[in-house]
Amino acid sequence: MSELIEVLTKDGSYSLRSVFFQENFHSLLGALEETKKKFTAPSDLQRFKGKSLNVLDICFGLGYNSASLLDKLIKQKSYLNWYALEIDKMPLDYALKNKSFLKLWDPKVKKIFESLYLNNYFEDQFFKCKILWGDAREKINIIPSAFKFDLIYLDGFSPQKCPQVWTIEFLSRVTEKLNPQGYFITYSSSAAVRKTLRDLGLEIFTIKPSFKNRSFWSQGTVAVAKFDKNKFKSNLNFERLSVMEEEHLLTKASIPYRDKDLNLSKDDIIRERLKEQLFSNLVSTKKWREKWGMTKSGFKS
């Protein structure tokens, strides 16, 4: 799909940079670190020890999130039904050739990834895995409508770089596939994404960073479907949105990305949103930043 450049992150793990999207797959602080803190830890996989779970990984990429998931589930002997959506096969090809990446996981992960690369499928007594290659907006319709997920990961390029997977129409398709009390997890703390998820009826939480400051206040978002506080188990990795984050959802940054027929280009989606923001009476994001002493680099709107 596009030229990819190898990137060594600060924790010693490898990532890639997309020339097409002009964005790295992971934070330079660490690809492995990001996976653990933003996806694996909030998933609270211990809940499924010795049990079965269903997982959907959207924008599979190099496979860090699913590799970490599989590694944990192998150790705790859980049963997994897994789907992934990915448009580009090149990152998985790179991952399978990178010895440093493969050494991070149980050897079975390599076996699973090789089967996914060659056959789009893997199955044994514990795991049943299938990857669907192509535009996620189309491929999500191949997943049986009755199939519901306990965890959905969305790890695409940022909303302003790849808005196609962050629109209200696509997120509606995605979140309707969550089980009751299922977790939708993403690294994004975008006001547009959070407001969309809330408008779709999900309960929104912020993934807690190891430390908080004015430019690093969240590591992402967890949205819980059909939230029931009596059934919900507290999670040390995420909490309710702060006052600052709630006010972010009242600004022009919260205006959603739209793609009515799920076929618009990136430029068309961005253009239409900018028009809507221009005529909106909502508070400007600049004023919100000024009030809270934020720098623009601290978040993606």
What are the tens digits of pLDDT across the range 80-105? 999 999 999 999 999 999 999 999 99
Contact between 247 and 288 under an 8 Å Cβ cutoff? The reply is yes
* pLDDT tens by residue, 130-159: 999 999 999 999 999 999 999 999 999 999
- Asked if residue 211 has pLDDT above 70, the reply is no
pTM comes to: 0.94
- Asked if residue 299 has pLDDT above 70, the reply is no
CA distance readout (Å), 89 to 50, 59, 163, 164: 32, 11, 20, 19
Phi/psi at 117 (nearest 5 deg)?
A: -70, -40
Looking at domain 31-294, its CATH class is: alpha beta
What average pLDDT does the chain have?
93
Helical H runs in 38-106? 41-43, 64-76, 90-97, 99-102
Question: Which residues are CB-neighbours of 136 under 8 A, at least 6 positions away?
Answer: 58, 59, 85, 86, 87, 156, 164, 165, 170
Rg (CA), the chain: 19
CA distance 270 to 233: 38
- Tell me the three state secondary structure of residue 211: coil
* pLDDT tens by residue, 34-79: 999 999 999 999 999 999 999 999 999 999 999 999 999 999 999 9
Report residue 241 CA to chain centroid gap.
18
